[in-house]
Structure 1
Amino acid sequence: MRETLSRSGKTPIWKAIAAALRADIAEGRYATGDKLPTEAALADRFGVNRHTVRHALSALVEDGLVRTRRGAGAFVAARPTDYPIGSRVRFHENLLAAGRRPEKRILHIEERAATAGEAQALRVTEGAQICAYFGLSLADGQPIAVFESLFPAERLPGIQAALLAERGVTDALRVAGVRDYTRASTRLTAVLAEATHALHLQLREGDPLLKSTGLNVDPEGWPVEFGRTFFAGDRVTLTLEP
């Protein structure tokens, strides 16, 4: 069946085609190394000319999802990273389990006063000192998420120094006296990339992101980390686990 796209909408047709192909790759319709349909076949599917298809493919090439070979066609260059979200969310463990090489880069760490909302989430008084950790998460060298993690500084002595030593969050919390922690809540929403997100994730401003807002607690139920993570929508497949 010929699939057409409306030309009356605000989204350029080539962007809509690129988004559809990203979704195909994310859902596993095409695996790493698979050849995509020809430009002619894609033009027929979407009811457009080949120039429009070529524009969409170029955007995917620029994003690192697709590579082209002259005379051979377009091939899937990367697959989304499976990232489970459950009661025990561990970045390094999750990526290693998915067969990826995990890496985190510190963008900025500071101590500051908690806002009213942050204080409520972390169960501290408004204005109490918190450690704010901004970073970039990568899989096999490709940026997949930017994040902001907030920690109650008074409850976790030494947390800032441990994070600055480039320890993982689990190790840093252990240094601060937290032997274990679990995810108490997770909220997922779809958002559009702001300029800073796009810069760090090597995306375009306005590209789709998945925002995860989560709260981790220690064995006694006290909040130890409140975080917001912005995942590149076409590079990560989030799965919910018990």
Structure 2
Amino acid sequence: MGRIPIWTAIHDTLVEEIAAGHFPPGARLPTEAQLADRFGVNRHTVRRALAALADRDIVFSRRGAGVFVRHTPTPYPIGRRVRFHQNLLDANRVPDRRVLHLETRTATLDEVEALDLGGTPLIHISEGIIRSDDVTVGAFRSVFPAARFPDFLEIMRETRSVTKTFAAHGVTDYTRARTEVTAQVATKSRADLLEIRPRDPILRTISINVDHEGVPIEFGRAWFAADKVTLTVTDTEPRGF
């Protein structure tokens, strides 16, 4: 029996280390030079091992950035009742929605139209990132009518939950009235939030949530890294939170 090629041994070692969690989904592998030094081989041998990993969809490369462990796309249902935490828990993922910014300001024209408001009302803004299994998969910006939710900022800062903030104002149930999905490329600022490269493909969603009487209560925009999520249109109704 012949000897196992060196590149195969390197490939197998990296597979074992990835499976053991030494390089979690989204992590960047050491550079070709670092791997060549570690295994005592030339970069061509390392390159062949990495190519074999890529052929198996275990890793992917980004020009100028390196080789990364592939993150299995997070299934993200879009239905009448969209609940972030429950969606990811149902997919056996660990959810984390980090609110980075909260403020109150005057509504813009498109926000007035989306929320069916009159005059120049104040709205509350919530911005942040969406994470799944410690990988950033999306960013969001949502606006809410301040007159309907006067204590929104205070409760959001305490609970970090839109659903709980709604409930504290008497809105115990809400549904998604409309969702639009558009393909885009990431701007520099958006790419930084999503931990991807500028001009990488992203999916933008625009949505409106309504209360049980059909009155708009949330106008939201979200941006997802295209290779990190699978948006699924469904009529199912996930449980709350």
> d(CA) in 1 for partners of 2:94 and 2:204?
22
RMSD over aligned Cα atoms: 2.6
Q: Indicate conservation of the 8 Å contact 2:125/2:141, yes or no.
A: yes
In structure 2, distance between residues paired with 1:200 and 1:63: 19
AA matched with 1:39: A
Note if contact 1:104-1:137 (Cα within 8 Å) is conserved in structure 2. yes
Structure 1 residue 177: deviation in Å?
1.8
For residue 207 of structure 2, what is the amino acid of its counterpart?
A: G
Residue type of the partner of 1:189?
T
Q: Determine if contact 2:81/2:176 at 8 Å carries over to the other structure.
A: yes
Moved beyond 3 Å, runs of 4+? 36-43, 60-65
Q: How far off its partner does 1:126 sit?
A: 3.9
State the number of aligned residues.
Answer: 186
Q: Once the 2 structures are TM-superposed, how far is the Cα of residue 217 of structure 1 from its aligned partner?
A: 0.2
Deviations 1:172-214 (CA, angstroms, capped at 9, x unpaired) = 1111221100000000000111111111111111111100100
> Distance between the aligned counterparts of 2:234 and 2:208, measured in 1?
16
Which residue is equivalent to 1:93? 86
Q: Which runs of 5+ in 2 are unaligned?
A: 1-24, 26-47, 236-241
Q: Report the counterpart of residue 171 of structure 1 in structure 2.
A: 164
Deviation, structure 1 residue 162: 1.4
Q: Deviations over 1:79-104 (max 9, x none)?
A: 00000001001100100001001111
CA contact (8 A) 1:131 1:159 kept: yes
Structure label with greater radius of gyration: 2
Q: 1:49-68 to 2 correspondence within 5 Å? A: 57-59=60-62, 65-66=68-69
Deviation at 1:38, TM superposition (A): 7.3
For residue 39 of structure 1, what is the aligned residue in structure 2? 51
User: Which protein, 1 or 2, shows the higher relative CO under an 8 Å CA cutoff with sep ≥ 6?
Assistant: 2
Alignment-derived partner of residue 20 in structure 2: none
CA distance in structure 1 between the aligned counterparts of 2:92 and 2:123, rounded to whole angstroms:
34
C-alpha displacement of 1:64: 7.5
Letter in 2 for 1:206: R
Pair 126,189 (structure 1): closer, same or farther in 2 beyond 3 Å: farther
Matches within 5 A, 1:150-169: 150-169=143-162
Matches within 5 A, 1:72-83: 77-83=70-76
Quote the Cα distance in structure 2 between the aligned partners of 1:96 and 1:175: 24
Residue identity matched to 1:93? Q
Maintained 8 Å contact 1:106/1:166: no
CA contact (8 A) 2:143 2:218 kept: yes
What amino acid maps onto 1:140 in structure 2? Answer: D
Unpaired stretches in structure 1, ≥5 consecutive residues: 1-31, 44-55, 67-76
Normalised TM-score (structure 1)? 0.71
Q: Which residue of 2 aligns with 1:29?
A: none
Q: Equivalent pairs: percent with the same residue? A: 41
Distance 1:102 1:59, change over 3 A: same
Match of 1:72 in 2: none
